[in-house]
Structures are given as structure tokens and as C-alpha cells.
Structure 1
Amino acid sequence: MQSNPLPSESDEILLAQPRGFCAGVDRAINIVNEALSRFGAPIYVRHEIVHNKYVVDELRAKGAIFVDGIDEIPRGAIVIYSAHGVSQQVRQDAAERGLQVYDATCPLVTKVHVEVVKLCKDGFTVFMIGHAGHPEVEGTMGQVESGIFLIENLEDVEKLNFSADERLAFVTQTTLSVDETKEIVNALTKKFPKIIQPKKQDICYATQNRQDAVKFMAPQVQLVIVVGSQASSNSNRLRELAEKLGVPAYMVDAPDQLRPEWFEGKKRVGLTAGASAPESLAQAIVARIQEFGPRQIRSLDGVVEDVTFSLPKNLTHPV
């Protein structure tokens, strides 16, 4: 359901706050750039460093080579693990090929990896709430050989055949917000009252902040543009959230993907960007929107993020 035109002196573009890069993405891209600067091309990256075509294309042009498998990398070469993290099998394969590893796994993801290993070591069965096939899910579940099960929906919870008295725990894909996992978490805790829950700080702050910003922005606009690539889980969720709030929403990762007809009759347009989308791309898309007709730009109030993650010590202080 579309809202009525909102009164304003001129057409506007409202910018969500916060939007774009999170600390984990910023760190991962900096690691690739630092490695290229220090060692020169080529630098191999296992999986897309972050899920954004613009970023990946830019790094590829500088000499980064993105691969899906460790077996695609020459022996002894340099490899960087993406922000999503990798399984223990990937680490073992890299060691066997004698690769020089720089780990760009987001520290929030690494924290979940450590917890999964500890829980399984302590005799817990672990449920992971997440999306099948997502590299973060594959990496987290690949920290242990057994004892972890994927939960994607309520039907998966219903199928679980465990006693309420068993040692059970759950973790979540970090790019899912509290709102997205609420129904599944409620179902798990109802079925297994003694289940161990993750610490609140394990939820990715950036995912929650960007979704909260869309909730604040959506009632004020008639259209939402999400800057993000199709492979980006958190960007897709931003688009879905805007639509759920009754506002038409489109996701684009290049200015030429915008369509003039989307903006016809829309006085206020909202713009946000997924955690893997650079601000330079967001600004290029804002500029393209302005070509369809004059619009004032206004930044909305919101959380100001000051989280930073340091680069790996073996990259900044090589032995």
C-alpha cells in the first residue's frame, strides 16, 4: 500500500542513517588493498571479499583474483579469506598448498566460530539460524565435524527430534537482524526451554542499525532505493523490509539500473545502502536520480557508528 504524497516545498531524496559500509566490510576491503600494495598482483581471494559487484570489480581491476576453491590457487601464493569466514576444511586445504593466508573474516563472525567450537566441545548440539548456501553459514557450520544443524524456517524447528532436557544451543548468521530471527527464536525457546541463547552482542550491529534506519525512513517516503547487489543478504533484507512497511522498493548496484518511471509522482524518495555497498556508489546513484528531475537531498537522523576493526597483525607487522 502506497502512502499519499507528503507535502514539501520541493521533491526530496532522504538518506537513511546509517547506510553502507560496516566495520567488517571496511576492514576486509582494506586488507585486500594493503596486500596488493605490499606484495603486488596477483592476490587471490577465496570467495567474493564482500557481496558487492562494484567493490569486487574495482579490486579485480587492481589485480585481485577471486576464486571459489582453494585448489584454483597456485601453491605458495597469497590468499585472503572473505569477510564471511571459512570452514576448517578450507584452512586445512590452504595449509596443504603452502598458501600465505591473510584472514579478512569479520571479527563478529569469528566470535560466533569460537562459540560454536566451545559449545560442541562442551557436549552441546548447536542449531544455526541462517540461509543455506550462504558462505557465512558454510563457514560457521564448517568449524566442527558434527553436532550442528541448520534452521532456515519454522518448519525446520518443528522437525527437530530432540529431548527438551538435552544440551542444546543456537547461534545465528550475523547478517540477520533480531527481527528476522524472532519467530524462529521464539519457536526454539518454546520447544526447548533450556536452550542456550547467543549473547546479544553477537548480532551484527550494522544489520540491525540499517534495518532500524529503514523503519524510520519508510513512513516519510513514497519509494525506497536500496544500493546493493543481488548476492547481498543484508541488502535484500532492506528491500524486503521497505516493501513490508508498504513502500515500493528497488535494489540496484549501478546508476544505469534506475528507471525514470519509478520516480514519477514520487515527491520523497528514500535511499539506503547495504553494509557491503560503498558510499561513492550511493552518491553516484543519488546523482542519477537527480538527473530525472531536481530534488533536494536531506540526511535523516540516526545512529552514528564508530566501530572499527584492526587489520591482521601478520599483514601490518609481517614476520
Structure 2
Amino acid sequence: MTVDVDDLAWRAVSRPRTVLLTAPRSCPAGVQRAISIITDLVPRKKVYVRKQILNNENVIADLETRGAIFVDGLDEVPEGATVMFSAHGLSPSMRAEAAARRLDVLDATFPLVTESHALAAMAVESDLVLVLGPMNSANSMRLVELAHRHRRPAHLIENAAAIRPAWLTGVRTIGLTAGPSVPARQLDGVLALLAELGPLTVSEVEPVETLHFGQPVRR
């Protein structure tokens, strides 16, 4: 996206800024664990996985080669078969449907139960936090909520075009983070937009995930 520097709204928020960037991880710990569970199970039985656990075609293709079967809905899983739910979660209606069809459900939902300490530190040091990711991403929404808990304004955006000039009023430091499935070009687009508004200093912050894992639970 190119900023119209003659637009009064953008001109009013033009100034030097610093971006604190948390680089997206290629494969978060929770997803790595899901992959490990699937890899361990498929030599012994057919495992159906509801929803792709990561928007990474190479990972998905590898798991399919090993024997994992990815499905969009429970109606694609044979009655009595083993089905694994991904990190997207398990709703009460899904549990009821699985029970009715006597599915052997492996609930491998991995909650991010404690804060990402790097992100928390970034939020405290920022005047504004931008989370780049899909609007239906629960993880991205949790990052926005984390920033709010630290009393910082935060917005979930899908691309640079979603940024509003009013958000940048009085903002000197922006915390920017992106999910692992976000294409690099979208992240570059956000940085390019901000650079059009004045000199931009980008400092990369290494993210630290703190997760608690229990054993996979059969429902």
C-alpha cells in the first residue's frame, strides 16, 4: 500500500518512529507437539486430523505422506475411527457429534496458557501494538487481548491497508507481531507503509513462548 502523503490525515501523523518487531516463528511449540503426536500414532493406526494444524503445505504434505488424513468436518471420519483435533479447539457441539458417532477423539488442543514474555515486554514499551494475522485467528486475538491487559491500544490487521491514520496519532513506538502463517510480503507491506510516514527504526525482538502441556486426552 502506498500512502498518499498529500492526504491531510496521513500528513498529520507523519513523524520518525520505532517498530519493535517480534519475528514470526516458523513452527510454534504447540504445533511441533501436534506433529510429534501424529507422527507417533500413524504407524500404528489411521489418524484423521480435523483442520490443518498449520498453513504450511510442506508440513501437511509430509504428514499426509506418513499416513495422516486431514478432514474439514467430522462427517468425513468413519464411525469409530480415531480423530485428532488441532490447536483450533473443540466446541461442545463437536464433542457431542463425536460421541454420537463413537469416534475415538484425541483432544490435542494446546492452549497458550501463559503470556509470551517477549510480547508482554514489547507491549509495555510500545505506544501501539499491531498484530498481523487472519481476522478469524484465535491466537492473534489473544495477542491483541494481551496488549489490552497491559493497557496498550492494539489492533488485529490482515494487511497494511487496514491501518488507520487515527491509530498513529502521538505514537512514537509501535509493537508489531505476526503469526507463522502470515506471508512475509504482508509484513513487509506494513513496514513499508510506516516508512512512508517518516524515518523508521526497526528493532527485532526474539519471542519467547511459555506453554504448559498435558498428555493428549481421549474424549
Partner of 2:90: 137
After superposition, residues 202-281 of structure 1 pair within 5 angstroms as 211-281=116-186
**Aligned partners of 1:16 and 1:214 also within 8 Å:** yes
2:117 & 2:184 partners in 1: Cα distance? 19
Structure 2 residue matching 1:178: 3-state secondary structure: coil
Partner of 1:15: 21
* Match in the other structure for 2:200: 295
Give 1:1-319 correspondences, 5 Å limit. Answer: 11-17=17-23, 19=24, 21-23=26-28, 24=31, 49=52, 81=70, 87=74, 89-92=75-78, 136-138=89-91, 141=95, 145=99, 173-174=109-110, 176-179=111-114, 211-303=116-208
8 Å CA contact 1:20, 1:272 repeated in 2 = no
Determine if contact 1:242/1:249 at 8 Å carries over to the other structure.
Answer: yes
Distance apart, 1:212 and its partner CA: 2.5
Distance 1:278 1:212, change over 3 A: farther
Q: 1:15: Cα distance to partner?
A: 0.5
Q: How many angstroms does 1:220 deviate by?
A: 0.9
Structure 2 segments unaligned to the other structure (5+ residues):
1-15, 36-48, 58-67, 101-106, 210-219
Asked if 2 retains the 8 angstrom alpha-carbon contact of 1:221 and 1:269, the reply is yes
TM superposition score normalised by structure 2: 0.56
Alignment length, in residue pairs?
159
Kindly indicate which of the two structures has a greater share of residues assigned to helix. 1
Q: Tell me the alpha carbon deviations over residues 130-189 of structure 1, each in whole angstroms, 9 at most, x when there is no partner.
A: xxxxx531598379527xxxxxxxxxxxxxxxxxxxxxxxx7732x3223xxxxxxxxxx
8 A Cα contact 1:21 1:279, kept in partner: no
- Residue 39 of structure 2 aligns with which residue? none
* Whole-Å separation in 1 of the counterparts to 2:126 and 2:187: 18
Q: Distance in 2 between matches of 1:244 and 1:273?
A: 19
Query: Which residues of structure 1 form unaligned runs of 5+?
Result: 1-9, 29-45, 60-78, 96-102, 110-134, 147-170, 180-207, 305-319
- Cα RMSD, aligned residues only: 4.0
What code does the residue aligned with 1:173 have?
A: T
Counterpart CA distance in 2 for 1:286 and 1:142 is: 45
**Quick one: higher RCO (CA 8 Å, sep 6+), 1 or 2?**
2
Report the Cα distance in structure 2 between the residues aligned to 1:137 and 1:47, rounded to whole angstroms: 10
Contact 2:134 2:158 (8 Å CA) reproduced: yes
TM superposition shift of 1:250: 0.8
Q: 2:43 maps to which residue?
A: none
Matched residue SS, 1:92: coil
Change in Cα spacing, 1:277 to 1:105, as seen in structure 2 (3 Å) is farther
Q: Runs in 1 of length 4+ with deviation above 3 angstroms?
A: 46-51, 103-106, 138-144, 301-304
On the 8 A contact 1:81/1:105 being kept in 2, the answer is: no
